[in-house]
Structure 1
Amino acid sequence: MLLTVDDDPSVSRAVARDLRRRYGSEYRVVRADSGPDALDALREIGRRGGRVAVILADYRMPVMNGIDFLEQAMDLFPRARRVLLTAYADTEAAIDAINLVDVDHYLLKPWQPPEEKLYPVIDELIAGWLASPDPAAGETRVVGHHWSSRSYEVRDFLARNQVPYRWFAADEPDGARLLAVAEADPAAIPVVLTPDGRVFTDPDLTELAAAVGLQTTPTAELYDVVIVGAGPAGLGAAVYGASEGLRTMLVERRATGGQAGQSSRIENYLGFPDGISGAQLTDRARRQAVRFGTEIVSAQPVTGLEVTGPTKTLTLGDGSQVQARAVVLATGVAYRQHEATGLAGLVGRGVYYGSAATEAEACAGQHVVVVGGANSAGQAAVFFSRHASRVTLAVRGPDLAASMSSYLIDQIAAIDTIEVRTCTTVVECCGDEHLDSVTLLDANTGESTEVPASHVFVFIGAVPSTEWLPERVVRDPRGFVLTGPDLVHDGRRPAGWALDRDPYVLESSVPGLFVAGDVRAASVKRVASAVGEGALAITLVHEYLARH
């Protein structure tokens, strides 16, 4: 855009007319009658992600003169070229403006003919602006503090949902400029600016999802199958359900992919000899499910399940309800909370559950501690070794072989910057604004060692997300859902089972409620097995719907 501001209506119309005549096919010309009005216009342009190439302002304006206006405009659009319109008597003030407040040029009024006195100047300024343009418009922008748990939560949510965004630190010039554009309180961060110009201060994830274009509410009241959880099992079920003609809805509380979606590199998944990142695999599966007709509802937890005859009623986090003829439970597991002293207060400020690939750049040259001994921890150690100066893999057990694939053990052994410390636990995390150090306890020697560390990534244990299920859904003592043969003992079917058949192999103690992936008791914790169970669950859904 080209913006011109002048309190004289005739001059304002004349400059806008001449600019449109020459540049109107490529640039929108915006006109304002005062400095404050022009600043409001610039803020609105900024909120909408627009770009301003040249600003022309009259020197003699009431309330705010042209120099003061251009100085404030520079804070909003620092790359825009600035021109002061002056009378001959104000030439000295114009020269001072060039020297003192970085005005790019001044033009004497009148500028007739424009072909000689206006257009050559604007042509040169636009050429300079094009050589160093504003950041591209059309992106979601996030302003926050790096060591803020809420800022991290927003960034992680956008990244895991494949939403392009640009990150700005609030205490740096570009971040401060965006806060000024949004007229947002610097203390109320994170602030999210969407491409359509809306501003969200410290949004919850459902609000944020809707703002960036993700679907957050169902479009129908009844589905053939509702899949709860969008990890590999849920995505597998969605692809096969929708492709086989079932009206399918997939609902996810956070982001598609689950824990697998956070994996930096999956190298033992069939069909990808060079490996694939969890994010790439997730994105392909999500697009495939959508292409077949799956409806994906994001940022919505399922908080309740009620069975009324053959229909299941699911209650979502916003209180709305949806009905399904069959349900596939694929909620996966969450990492078990670590009990080290001081760790809970530093989550999102140096301590993270899962891989948190958005932190990779911040790990450059730092010491990183990865806690855990399974594949996910090993993949994270390899990934962060490409950025950090040193990675410590803290493993509670005596070796890696019991829980980690051999190919990954070999990779770790070949990387000099990774130190594997077995029989070791993190017992304390220290830091004020962010993590500064961790204390490691060696179970063999009983010795504790405090080491500097900027980041800790936790990959321990597995806790199923099943607390919202009704009591009649039978679970093992750890909360994993029992299915099929595990529900039948000495020929006795589970209590309340009214059908004249045993539960199908992936069916829970509630007829028509199937379970796939890590949330199922005794499941194999691998991506391939989860995808396979998701596909098998749909085969069983077909059989169930045909009979009931």
Structure 2
Amino acid sequence: MTSPAATKPAILSVDDDPGVSRAVVRDLRRRYGADYRILRAESGATALDALREMKLRGQPVAVLIADYRMPGMDGIEFLEQAMDLHPFARRVLLTAYADTSAAIDAINVVDLDHYLLKPWDPPEEKLYPVLDGLLEAWRSSEQRPVTETKVVGNRWSPRSSEVREFLARNQLPYRWYLAEEPEGARLLEAAGADPERCPVVITEAGQTLVQPTDGELAESVGLSTSPTGDFYDLIVVGGGPAGLGAAVYGASEGLRTVLVERTATGGQAGQSSRIENYLGFPDGVSGSQLADRARRQAAKFGAEVITTREVVGLEVNGSARTVRFSDGGRLCAHTVIIATGVDYRRHSAPGVDDFTGRGVYYGSAMTEASECSDHDVYIVGGANSAGQAAVFLSRHARTVNLVIRADSLDKSMSHYLVQQIEQIPNIRVHHRTEVISADGVDHLQRIVLRNNETGVEEKAEAERLFLFIGAAPQTDWLGGTIKRDEAGYVLAGPDLLVDGARPAGWELPRPPHHLETSIPGVFVAGDVHADSAKRVASAVGEGAMAVMLVHRYLA
């Protein structure tokens, strides 16, 4: 039987100086000993051993406090490895004044939450306020550790792939077992589940979900799936950078705000392994880290974040704006911001659709990276998302083949990414080339490439094909309620004026605000906006600007 103390979340302090270590633990126990297990270790290696044991036992870790200068393994190295074991633990670095530059670097390297200068006396002023804030953030986070969730499925099952991707994109830890392997078979037998009905998800509490929907998954792991109210000041539809930016600024400025996301916050940017041209992150930041920070920031200011709810319609009901959900529910607000972003276009080559989820993936399926070891993988696309995926997969795959129709990457990819790709020896760029067919038995096994300059066709063995072939706006749900351009992107502001005339049905005495659509009080932000810049920074900026215009509309 597990002791009550073992079930408490842990606060772990790591310092090679016994005197400092005892002092830290003394101060921590005095303040937090009643609610947390206070543990200490005198080396990074010893601390990692303790963290591994807690991981195996499913014991949560709330905060890690590591001294920067430790022999053998410094604090940054320790925190970097600890992230893999307990990614949701808050991370604090103890430094001397001379080491503050290293601490600042660690903010990007290990997603550091805070650094403390030694000495921290008095703790009531310098230690406890920092820890109180971090513990509150850890407790209120939607992404609490669920270390015992198990997913049992088949390697080439599309739904098994979707379940893993859903959990990964929502930063929910899980363990993956193949149904045909001994441990997977034992889990299915214990759960009384039919191997033919995979995937099977076994939650931390022992609940068995057979072929679960995303909504069932979300509810089982504690994600919010229903709003707490019926009427808000602002509904944000879409949880990419633009939507998250709007939620942060809307809630922080006093608007009762709810963000509705179909799958997982972060959008396409959330799938990026490393974004290196986003302001304030000189060493880059992963899309998932950026999305997690933004989501926590929005929640801190009081925004509600609702997942696995698909918006299928928009209505005007007097002064209210109403969004309709696919399950028949609806939600009303004074204003709406459309930030649904874009999705990758489907590839038309014969055979590609047959293997979607069975070797063919749209976007960077991060869960497949570990399966690419010692394999040749192919990526189709020449924009930043394809380049970021190529750099990331090059760490795992034997070779990464980047297939582009153009004669140069410079035409569509940021210069910094082009330079990186040129320096990675196992990335090959196939210019003026496209995939013309895909083939296999139960999964993708080969593709055919054609050089459009020479007309030469070439068969290639390939079990993984990642597609980044342009964007399609997620606006079909709008129907004819909002004016869009021929490609489906939402028109707003000056783009709605034809020869100075306001759009049909516009009854206000003023023209539409810059990001306001053809319906007053409904705004647009991010990639779904016609002629947007298609960059993370500009999407966040438009989300913030849209909130400013919401205030003008409400005034």
TM-score (norm 1): 0.75
Does 2:164 correspond to 1:155? yes
Aligned match for 1:477, one of 470, 483, 486:
486
Does 2:256 correspond to 1:259? no
Which residue in the other structure is 1:541 paired with? 550
One-letter code aligned to 2:369: A
What is the SS of the residue equivalent to 1:401?
helix
Aligned match for 1:328, one of 327, 332, 337:
337
One-letter code aligned to 2:498: H
Take 1:137 and 1:476, find their aligned partners in 2: how far apart are those partners? 44
> Following TM superposition, by how much is the alpha carbon of 1:317 offset from its aligned partner in structure 2, in angstroms?
2.0
Take 1:455 and 1:284, find their aligned partners in 2: how far apart are those partners? 31
Instruction: Say whether the 8 Å CA contact 2:147–2:173 is kept in structure 1.
Output: no
Take 2:234 and 2:312, find their aligned partners in 1: how far apart are those partners? 17
One-letter code aligned to 1:217: S
What are the residue-to-residue correspondences of 1:425-436 with 2, within 5 Å? 425-436=434-445
Which residue in the other structure is 2:178 paired with? 169
Residues 50 and 271 of structure 1, relative CA distance in 2, 3 Å threshold: closer
Take 2:146 and 2:335, find their aligned partners in 1: how far apart are those partners? 44
Which residue in the other structure is 1:75 paired with? none
What are the residue-to-residue correspondences of 1:436-515 with 2, within 5 Å? 436-515=445-524
Compare 314-323 and 237-246 and name the one that shifted more: 314-323
What is the SS of the residue equivalent to 2:340?
coil
> Following TM superposition, by how much is the alpha carbon of 1:142 offset from its aligned partner in structure 2, in angstroms?
0.5
What is the SS of the residue equivalent to 2:377?
strand
Residues 452 and 506 of structure 1, relative CA distance in 2, 3 Å threshold: same
What are the residue-to-residue correspondences of 1:14-29 with 2, within 5 Å? none
Which residue in the other structure is 1:145 paired with? 154
Aligned match for 1:184, one of 175, 189, 193:
193
Instruction: Say whether the 8 Å CA contact 2:188–2:194 is kept in structure 1.
Output: yes
Could you list the per-position Cα deviations for residues 275-329 of structure 1 after superposition, in whole angstroms to 9, with x for gaps in the alignment?
A: 1111111111111111111101101110111101210111112211110100000
Which residue in the other structure is 1:319 paired with? 328
What is the SS of the residue equivalent to 1:373?
coil
Could you list the per-position Cα deviations for residues 188-225 of structure 1 after superposition, in whole angstroms to 9, with x for gaps in the alignment?
A: 00000111121100011111111111111111000000
> Following TM superposition, by how much is the alpha carbon of 1:139 offset from its aligned partner in structure 2, in angstroms?
2.0
Which residue in the other structure is 2:430 paired with? 421
What is the SS of the residue equivalent to 1:147?
coil
Instruction: Say whether the 8 Å CA contact 1:50–1:137 is kept in structure 2.
Output: no
Take 2:512 and 2:483, find their aligned partners in 1: how far apart are those partners? 12
Which residue in the other structure is 1:395 paired with? 404
Could you list the per-position Cα deviations for residues 335-386 of structure 1 after superposition, in whole angstroms to 9, with x for gaps in the alignment?
A: 0000111010111111100011111110000000000000000011111111
Instruction: Say whether the 8 Å CA contact 2:147–2:174 is kept in structure 1.
Output: no
- Give structure 2 stretches of 5+ with no counterpart: 8-55, 59-144
Identity %: 58
Does 2:200 correspond to 1:209? no
Residues 544 and 455 of structure 1, relative CA distance in 2, 3 Å threshold: same
Instruction: Say whether the 8 Å CA contact 1:306–1:470 is kept in structure 2.
Output: no
One-letter code aligned to 2:529: R
Cα RMSD, aligned residues only: 1.8
What are the residue-to-residue correspondences of 1:64-143 with 2, within 5 Å? 138-143=147-152
TM-score (norm 2): 0.74
> Following TM superposition, by how much is the alpha carbon of 1:400 offset from its aligned partner in structure 2, in angstroms?
1.0
- Give structure 1 stretches of 5+ with no counterpart: 3-22, 28-48, 52-135
Instruction: Say whether the 8 Å CA contact 1:261–1:282 is kept in structure 2.
Output: yes
Could you list the per-position Cα deviations for residues 69-117 of structure 1 after superposition, in whole angstroms to 9, with x for gaps in the alignment?
A: xxxxxxxxxxxxxxxxxxxxxxxxxxxxxxxxxxxxxxxxxxxxxxxxx
Aligned match for 1:242, one of 246, 251, 256:
251
Does 2:317 correspond to 1:308? yes
Does 2:292 correspond to 1:286? no
Could you list the per-position Cα deviations for residues 103-136 of structure 1 after superposition, in whole angstroms to 9, with x for gaps in the alignment?
A: xxxxxxxxxxxxxxxxxxxxxxxxxxxxxxxxx9
Larger Rg: 1
Q: How many residues matched?
A: 421
What is the SS of the residue equivalent to 2:333?
strand
> Following TM superposition, by how much is the alpha carbon of 1:470 offset from its aligned partner in structure 2, in angstroms?
3.9
Instruction: Say whether the 8 Å CA contact 1:307–1:313 is kept in structure 2.
Output: yes
Does 2:363 correspond to 1:354? yes
Instruction: Say whether the 8 Å CA contact 2:344–2:362 is kept in structure 1.
Output: yes
Instruction: Say whether the 8 Å CA contact 1:360–1:384 is kept in structure 2.
Output: yes
Which residue in the other structure is 2:394 paired with? 385
Could you list the per-position Cα deviations for residues 220-264 of structure 1 after superposition, in whole angstroms to 9, with x for gaps in the alignment?
A: 000000000000000000000001110000000011000000001
What is the SS of the residue equivalent to 1:383?
helix
> Following TM superposition, by how much is the alpha carbon of 1:177 offset from its aligned partner in structure 2, in angstroms?
1.1
One-letter code aligned to 2:280: G
Does 2:354 correspond to 1:340? no
Compare 476-485 and 310-319 and name the one that shifted more: 310-319
One-letter code aligned to 1:379: Q
Residues 137 and 400 of structure 1, relative CA distance in 2, 3 Å threshold: closer
Instruction: Say whether the 8 Å CA contact 1:370–1:456 is kept in structure 2.
Output: yes
What is the SS of the residue equivalent to 1:436?
strand
One-letter code aligned to 1:242: A
Aligned match for 1:376, one of 385, 392, 396:
385
Take 2:377 and 2:299, find their aligned partners in 1: how far apart are those partners? 38
One-letter code aligned to 1:503: P
Residues 435 and 246 of structure 1, relative CA distance in 2, 3 Å threshold: same
> Following TM superposition, by how much is the alpha carbon of 1:425 offset from its aligned partner in structure 2, in angstroms?
0.6
Which residue in the other structure is 1:103 paired with? none
What is the SS of the residue equivalent to 2:458?
strand
What is the SS of the residue equivalent to 2:478?
coil
Take 2:232 and 2:526, find their aligned partners in 1: how far apart are those partners? 22
Could you list the per-position Cα deviations for residues 519-548 of structure 1 after superposition, in whole angstroms to 9, with x for gaps in the alignment?
A: 0000001000000000000000011011xx
Take 1:508 and 1:171, find their aligned partners in 2: how far apart are those partners? 52
Take 1:445 and 1:430, find their aligned partners in 2: how far apart are those partners? 23
> Following TM superposition, by how much is the alpha carbon of 1:464 offset from its aligned partner in structure 2, in angstroms?
0.7
One-letter code aligned to 1:457: F
